[in-house]
Amino acid sequence: MNVYDSGRMADVLAPLGYVQADAPDDADMVILNTCHIREKAAEKVYSELGRLRRLKIAKEEGGGRMILAVAGCVAQAEGEEILSRAPYVDMVFGPQTYHRLGEMVARAGRAGDVVLDTDFPVEPKFDFLPAPVSSANSARPEGHAESAAFLTVQEGCDKFCTFCVVPYTRGAEYSRPAAAVLAEAGQLAAIGVREITLLGQNVNNYKGAAADGSSGGDWGLGRLIAEVAAIDGIERIRYLTSYPADMDEELIAAHRDVIALMPFLHLPVQSGSDVVLKAMNRRHNADDYRRLVDRLRAVRPDIGLSSDFIVGFPGETDADFAETMKLVEEVGFIQAYSFKYSPRPGTPAAVMENHVAEDVKGERLATLQGLLNAQQLAFNRSCVGQVMAVLLDRPGRLPGQLVGRSPYMQAVHMDGEGGAMGAIQELLIIDAHANSLTGNPVRANTGAPVRENKRASA
Ligand code: 5AD
Ligand code: SF4
């Protein structure tokens, strides 16, 4: 979501004459778009600010000026503290304020004015943001195709998992009206985007005003996906990130019915222990999750699953952790993210008793990651000999080489010539590694089985 937000900031700044620089060294403005989710991410902000301060001083010594800004969730959570710890920062603004960026820059431009804006607006910021111009994804360096883009459809979170800062930094759940989402998806398609990832902290709880003016009530994510799929040029759809208890019938059915919906789902379970899940205030237990996976696989047998895990949540015992390992073994994930529990200021879990010792967290994380990595490698190896549809959107290491994404979000390095940047191309997978695959363009009929986004009947 920060990548998407950075793109929208670039869109707001473009009419003011700002263009993206390749490096911060000589920039007129540097915005750090920050994450507060775990302590490590938040700490990075201050070390990065120290580095940028040197560039700012160098620029001033040369007679120039660099506006230094901190955006995102660290800005939201630590506002004043940033200005006192790093008084050379010119602007601090939270994730709900980007539409006011023009005003803020003007204020910061007046020497000596420091801007602090962490208000949640009454009206959602989306109504005030310009259409995406060319920066479909601002993190995309030059030479990369703008063929895949993010599109925020929902923001904020009302779930209040006891470990998580998001409900405090991003605010209450809000869904954009479907008409606004479809308009933005159309604009992305018009600039050549073929794959859209619909974003939200609880994207599958999307409930947006219907786009057809019908009185049938809000649209859910399943309906929205079907409508985005109908837009000319949009060939692939993903959504991120989902809350298991919010997977409804319509969305599950979309995995069966919407060809463009990729057979890959990030569905964070966090833990396999019912006791821990309850203490986390998750609204599912381990068996609910298993049943949900069964329902998804019943409609889309080739679906690949991904998850987030937290180890060492306060009170987690060896037996609880064993439940997590058991769940991973049973479900089988094709990739996952796993973290040591990190106490976040202001969250209920931070003041719980029985915090788990760091070394125990470390051991559990290593054990869990050992299993998750083995599952990922096994899945990657199962792709060798198959043909996969790969969206080629980045240059590779060697001249002429291209890199892209499979339907399962695996990085695929094209070994050999014949690829077109921005194209979705069928590659025969010839090699598998821990984090990527290697494939060759399919020339003639290889007779290999096709594992891509077409069902046999399609
Ligand atoms: N400690 C560790 N991991 C966390 N996450 C969120 N908050 C914390 C925390 N306090 C993880 C969750 C979430 C992912 C985005 O980050 O697994 O799904
Ligand atoms: Fe955080 Fe996700 Fe839980 Fe919301 S649902 S509180 S964003 S972990």
Mutate to test the pocket of ligand 1, among 1, 2, 38 (most ligand atoms within 8 A of CB): 38
| C-alpha 36 to ligand 1 mean position (Å) | 10
Kindly report the length of the chain. 458
3-state class of 357 per DSSP?
A: coil
Please give the Cα distance from 450 to 436 (Å, whole number): 18
User: Helix, strand, coil % (nearest 5) of the chain?
Assistant: 35, 20, 45
Q: Which residue has the tokens 């940033």?
A: 82
Q: What is the CATH number of domain 2-121?
A: 3.40.50.12160
| C-alpha 4 to ligand 1 mean position (Å) | 20
CA-based nearest residue to 197, from 169, 224, 170, 166: 224
Is the domain defined by 387-441 classed in CATH 1.10.10? no
Report residue 243 as tokens. Answer: 């809350």
- Cis amide linkage into residue 241, ω under 30° from 0: yes
| Bridge partners of residue 370, in order along the sequence | none
161 in contact with ligand 2, CB cutoff 6 A: yes
Specify the domain boundaries for CATH 2.40.50 within the chain: 387-441
Question: At a CB cut-off of 8 Å and minimum separation 6, what does 100 contact?
Answer: 93, 117
Mutate to test the pocket of ligand 1, among 159, 241, 280, 308 (most ligand atoms within 8 A of CB): 308
Tell me: the pLDDT tens digits for 264-278? 999 999 999 999 999
Q: What pLDDT band is residue 41 in, cutting at 50, 70 and 90? A: confident
H/E element, 328: helix 318-331
Closest ligand by atom to 340 CA: 1
| Bridge partners of residue 237, in order along the sequence | 196, 261
| C-alpha 273 to ligand 2 mean position (Å) | 18
H/E element, 391: strand 387-395
Specify the domain boundaries for CATH 3.40.50.12160 within the chain: 2-121
CA pseudo-torsion sign 410, 416, 420, 424: negative
Q: Which residue has the tokens 């696989």?
A: 297
Mutate to test the pocket of ligand 2, among 1, 164, 266, 271 (most ligand atoms within 8 A of CB): 164
pLDDT for 135 equals: 47
Tell me: the pLDDT tens digits for 123-172? 666 666 776 655 444 445 556 668 999 999 999 999 999 999 999 999 99
Tell me: the pLDDT tens digits for 333-378? 999 999 999 999 999 999 999 999 999 999 999 999 999 999 999 9
Which CATH code, of 3.80.30.20, 3.40.50.10860, 2.130.10.30, 3.30.70.260, is assigned to 126-382?
3.80.30.20
